Structure 1
Amino acid sequence: MGRCRSLSCAFRTRACLLGGIFAWASRGPLFSLPRRIHMERSPEPRRLPRGSPLDAEPSCLSVLSYNLLAPAFVRPIDLRTGAVQPFAAFEWASAEDLEWELRRKRLLKQLEGWHADVVCLQEVQFEASPDGSFALPVWLQGLGNYTACIPAEKYLTLIAERNERVLANKVAIGCAVLFRSDRLMQPSDTESSGSGDPNTLVSACLQGCPESPLAALGKTAFFSVHLDAQSEEKRVDQLRKCLEKARALGTRQVLFAGDLNTECRPGSCIAAFISDEMPSEEEMARECASALRIAGSEDGDDETPAESKETQTAGETGEPSPEQLEQWRLLWQKAAKSPAEHRINLSRVPTGATRSAYDHGKTEGPCVTWKLDHILHSPETIQLRQLWTTLEEDEAASASGLPNGENPSDHLPVAAIFQVSPPPALDEDARRALLSRLGDLEALHAAELSGLEEELAKLEPAAEAVPEAGYAKAKSKKKGDSPEMIAFKQEKRRRQKELKGRQAVDRQEFVRGLGDLELDVMEAANCSGDWLETGARSKPKR
C-alpha cells in the first residue's frame, strides 16, 4: 500500500502530467470464475444535494472522491511547446477563480464540513521536505482524525522530475486516501506492497474498528485512482493492476473512487469491468472513435506534445477502421474477463457529470459536460444507499465551466453512502467437510505417487558391475546406460507424466463445481494457482 500517516500526528487531460507510473507485480494466479455473478437488484438510492454532510447515519460508510486541480497544472508554460497547453488554459475561468490561495481555503472548508469516512483525492500537490522527501501538504494535515496513505517516495520523485523537465516546476502530484481513524483501521495481517503504490493508483486496506458503528465492515481495499487521460488500453491495465493488488492484500471486497477519464458508457472498455452486457456494434464503434479522437488531440504522458506525435486516430469520416475496431473488441474482452479472473464483482454508483469546459479542441464556448469521476464498489458487502447530485442539478456551473466562484476545482466531487455487511463466508460445518474432501484427495494422490515409485524401483534394471581387470581404464572412460536402462528411464518418465497429468485433471474437477465461498476456503488453505497443476500448496504468507 501507500505510505500511511496519521494527520492528527504529525478534464481528462491532466492525468497525463501525473505520469501514470505503476509497478505492481502479480502474486501468481488465483482461482478464477467462468462467469460474472449477478447480484439481486438493490433499492433505488436516494439522491442528496451536493455538499450534504456525510456522517448523518453512523452505521453507514461514506466515501468522497475529489480531483483538487493541482496549482501546478493551472496555466503553466509547457517547455515542449513554449506555451500553455489548451487543456491547462481554463479560458472560461477568471484569474480569481483559479488563484490557489482562494481555492485552497475553499477546498479545506469543504472537506472539513463533509466528514466522509474515506476521502479519495486526486491531484494532490505534495510538499517537499529539506531532505528531498515528499509529504502530504500542511493544509491537508489540518484535517483532524484522518490517517493518510500516499504514493511511494520513488514514484513521487519520478513525477517531480518529470514535471521539472516539462513544466520547469519540480513538484510531486498524485493521489491520496484519507480515512477516519476513529471508525476505520488497517488490518494487522495486511501485507504491504514491497515497492509501494504509484502516484496515480493509491490504496488503503481497511476494516471497521471493532467498537465502532462500522465494525461489520470486513477487510476492504480502497483505491484512489486517476486513470490515464489518453489511452483506453492503459486505463484497462491500471484497473487490472488494482484488482491484482486487492487479491494480493487478501480480499475480494474493493472500492475504486476517482477520475477515471472516461464516461463509462456502453461500448467503452472500462464499462466492461462493471457490466457483462454485450454492447451493440454502434456503441463499440462510437466509443472506439471517441477514444481515438481524444488520443489524437490531447497530450500524453510520454513527454511528447500531442501536435508533435503521429497518433492512431479515427479516419477523416470520424469512423474507426476495421483494424482499430478489432483491437477495440479484443481490449473490451480483456476488460470484461478481468472481474471473473480475480473473482471480484463491481457495481458503479450512478453519479452524473462532474466536469464542465470547452469541448475538446475548442477555444470558445459553449461549455459541455463530461461524466469523468466515478465510484465502483463490491456490492456484496457495500450496498449503495445514497449519493450526491452533480452537474445535473447545477445549471450555472454547467454553463459557466469549472472552476467558478462556488466550486474551487475543475471537477465536482462525488460522494456516496453505503450500508455495510460482513464478508460472506462458508459455515463451519461446510468448511470442515470441504477440507476433509481436500485432504482425502491429496492423500489418495500421495499414495498413488508412492505406489508408482515402489513399483518402478522393483522394475529398475540392475546396474552393470565394473570389471576388476582394467579398472583404472574403465574409470577414466564414462560408460553410457545399457539399452535396458535407457528403456526403463523412458518408461519411468512416461508413467510419472501420465499419473501427474491424471491427478491434475482430478484437482481441476475438484474445484470445477465449487462456489465463491468454497474457493475462498481453498485459497486460505494455500491451494490455488500452482496447486491445480502440481499439487503443491503455496507457501503461507508471513
Structure 2
Amino acid sequence: MEWEARSDLVVEELIEASPDLIALQEVMYELYESDLQPRLASLGYVGTIQQRSRKDDHQTGNATFFRESRFEISWEAHRSRVLLVGLRDLHGGAEICVANAHLEGNPRKPMDRVSQVRSALLDASKHGGPERHGLILCGDFNAPLISSAVASFLCFGQVLPGVQEFGYAVDVPSKVPETGHPYAMQSAYTPDPCEFSFTLRGAAGSCHMLDHVWYDAARVQCQAVREVFRSPEHREAVLAHGLPNEADPSDHLPVGAVLRLLPAPVKELQADPGPDELLHAAEELWQACPLPQEQRERFLACEEALSSALPAGRPTAEALAAFEAAKQAREACVAAFPAEAQLVVERISDLRKQARKAEQRRARQSAKDVKESKAKAK
C-alpha cells in the first residue's frame, strides 16, 4: 500500500478514537515531519519523536502525541527502544509518564526485551517514580502477552522459572540484573491465546498479541479497552488475508485503553511490607488468576489439606508421610494448570508464606516491647 492511502487510514482511525494520548512505533522521520505531525497538529495534538544517536542509522522511531488542550510536557527521555514523556494534566495538575516502546524484534532474545523495559522503568523512576506520576507503558513488545519474559518481569519484578516465550523456555542467566522495578504494573488486556494484534501471513502465519498496554495500578485505573477487531467478519478477513490490507494500514492492529489517573497515595514509609499488605497483594493476584471455578476450588482444598498436615514439634513418621502426600497432591494439582496460572498461584503461595513470617516477626516484636516496658516499670 502507498503511504498516502495508509496515512489517510491512520488519521481516520485516530479521529474516530479521539484519544488524549497517541503512541506510534516505526514512524519514518521524513514522513513524521512532512505529513503526520502537521496533520495531527491541525487536530489539536502536540507530538515528539524519538531522537536517536548519530551512530544509530535507523530511519524510524517512536512518536508520542498528546492533546494540547489536556497536557503539557514536563520532561522527556529518549532511549534506543523506548521514548519516555512526562506530561502534566492541565485540568488537575497530576502527572503521567508515557513510555512508548518498540522492543527488540529477534524472537530468540527475550532477555534483551526485559533489559530494555527495566532500563526504561528505572529511567522513569528517576523523574519521581510512583510517588510523583502515574505510568503507562505501551507499544510493540515483539513478545506475546499470554506468556513472555517481559510480561513476567512486569508482573512480578523478575522472570520466573519456567516461563516460555514463542514455545521455548526462557533461558535466564544465573547472574542477571533484570530484577525489580518500582511500579505495580498490570496489563490492560487480559492474556488470551486466541487474541492477536499481529499476523504476518494471515492464517498461514503465527498470530500473537504483540502490542501491549501496561499501567501502574497504584496510580492508574483501567476502565475499558479497545476491541482489537471491529467485528467477527473483520477478524476472519484478517486471518484470511493478513496485514496490512485495504482496511488496515499497518501490519499491527491498533490497541488502546480508557485509563483514569488516580491521586498519589499517602503512605507511611516502612522497610518491609506488613502481613496485611502481603495478604492483600495475594488476594488481588487470586482474584485476577486465570482459573475456572472448579480448578480454584481444587487448589484451595489442596492448600487447606497441606496447611492442616503441616508438622509441628517432633512429628511422627505418620505425620511426615501425611504431609508429603498432601504436598504431592498440591503439586499435581498445580501441574494441571496453564503455565501462566502456575506462576500466579506459586506467587500467591509465596506471598502468604511471607505474610506468616511477617506476622511471626510482629508477634515477637510485640512480646519484646511488652517485656521491655515491664522492665522499665520496675
Q: What TM-score comes out, normalization by structure 2 length? A: 0.61
Amino acid aligned to 2:111: E
- Residue number among 141, 145, 159 corresponding to 2:44 in the alignment: 145
Q: Distance in 2 between matches of 1:279 and 1:221?
A: 24
Going from structure 1 to structure 2, the CA distance change for 1:276 and 1:203 (only over 3 Å counts) comes to closer
Give, in angstroms, the shift of residue 141 of structure 1.
Answer: 1.9
The percent identity for this pair of structures is 23
- Residue number among 224, 232, 236 corresponding to 1:395 in the alignment: 236
- Cα RMSD after superposing both structures: 3.0
> What residue number does 2:347 align with?
none
Q: What TM-score comes out, normalization by structure 1 length? A: 0.44
Match of 1:383, SS state, is strand
* 1:219 partnered with 2:122: no
Gaps of 5+ in 2: 275-378
> What residue number does 1:366 align with?
204
Going from structure 1 to structure 2, the CA distance change for 1:346 and 1:277 (only over 3 Å counts) comes to closer
Going from structure 1 to structure 2, the CA distance change for 1:514 and 1:396 (only over 3 Å counts) comes to closer
> What residue number does 1:501 align with?
none
> What residue number does 2:189 align with?
350
1:157-191 Cα distance to aligned partner (Å, 9 max, x none): 444xx35xxxxxxxx2010111112112234xx5x
CA contact (8 A) 2:141 2:210 kept: yes
Going from structure 1 to structure 2, the CA distance change for 1:425 and 1:416 (only over 3 Å counts) comes to same
1:459-488 Cα distance to aligned partner (Å, 9 max, x none): xxxxxxxxxxxxxxxxxxxxxxxxxxxxxx
Amino acid aligned to 2:83: V
Give, in angstroms, the shift of residue 273 of structure 1.
Answer: 2.3
Give, in angstroms, the shift of residue 124 of structure 1.
Answer: 0.6
- Residue number among 413, 418, 425 corresponding to 2:254 in the alignment: 413
Give, in angstroms, the shift of residue 279 of structure 1.
Answer: 8.9
> What residue number does 1:185 align with?
72
Give, in angstroms, the shift of residue 330 of structure 1.
Answer: 4.2
> What residue number does 2:287 align with?
none
Q: Distance in 2 between matches of 1:334 and 1:272?
A: 15
Q: Distance in 2 between matches of 1:330 and 1:407?
A: 43
Q: Distance in 1 between matches of 2:217 and 2:5?
A: 39
Q: Distance in 2 between matches of 1:512 and 1:280?
A: 24
Amino acid aligned to 1:257: C
Match of 2:249, SS state, is coil
1:380-414 Cα distance to aligned partner (Å, 9 max, x none): 22111111122594121122100112111110000
Going from structure 1 to structure 2, the CA distance change for 1:245 and 1:399 (only over 3 Å counts) comes to same
Identify which of structures 1 and 2 has the higher relative contact order when contacts are C-alpha pairs closer than 8 Å and 6+ apart.
1
1:431-480 Cα distance to aligned partner (Å, 9 max, x none): xxx8xxxxxxxxxxxxxxxxxxxxxxxxxxxxxxxxxxxxxxxxxxxxxx
Q: Distance in 1 between matches of 2:126 and 2:23?
A: 21
250-259 or 391-400, larger mean C-alpha shift: 391-400
CA contact (8 A) 1:219 1:251 kept: no
CA contact (8 A) 2:197 2:208 kept: yes
Pairs within 5 Å for 1:9-88 = none
Match of 1:142, SS state, is helix
- Residue number among 108, 122, 128 corresponding to 1:244 in the alignment: 122
Gaps of 5+ in 1: 1-97, 129-134, 164-171, 291-319, 360-364, 435-510, 516-542
- Residue number among 219, 228, 231 corresponding to 2:104 in the alignment: 228
1:83-129 Cα distance to aligned partner (Å, 9 max, x none): xxxxxxxxxxxxxxx2222112211222223211110000110128x
CA contact (8 A) 1:203 1:223 kept: yes
- Residue number among 172, 175, 180 corresponding to 1:328 in the alignment: 172
> What residue number does 1:538 align with?
none
CA contact (8 A) 1:402 1:410 kept: yes
Going from structure 1 to structure 2, the CA distance change for 1:329 and 1:275 (only over 3 Å counts) comes to farther
Going from structure 1 to structure 2, the CA distance change for 1:109 and 1:251 (only over 3 Å counts) comes to same
CA contact (8 A) 1:367 1:400 kept: no
- Residue number among 150, 169, 187 corresponding to 1:270 in the alignment: 150
CA contact (8 A) 1:274 1:347 kept: yes
CA contact (8 A) 1:257 1:373 kept: yes
- Residue number among 64, 82, 87 corresponding to 1:206 in the alignment: 87
Give, in angstroms, the shift of residue 138 of structure 1.
Answer: 2.5
Give, in angstroms, the shift of residue 147 of structure 1.
Answer: 1.4
- Residue number among 6, 10, 29 corresponding to 1:107 in the alignment: 10
> What residue number does 1:493 align with?
none
Pairs within 5 Å for 1:93-172 = 98-127=1-30, 136-143=33-40, 144-152=43-51, 154-155=52-53, 157-159=54-56, 162=57, 172=59
Q: Distance in 2 between matches of 1:357 and 1:330?
A: 35
Pairs within 5 Å for 1:483-498 = none
Q: Distance in 1 between matches of 2:254 and 2:122?
A: 27
Going from structure 1 to structure 2, the CA distance change for 1:406 and 1:424 (only over 3 Å counts) comes to same
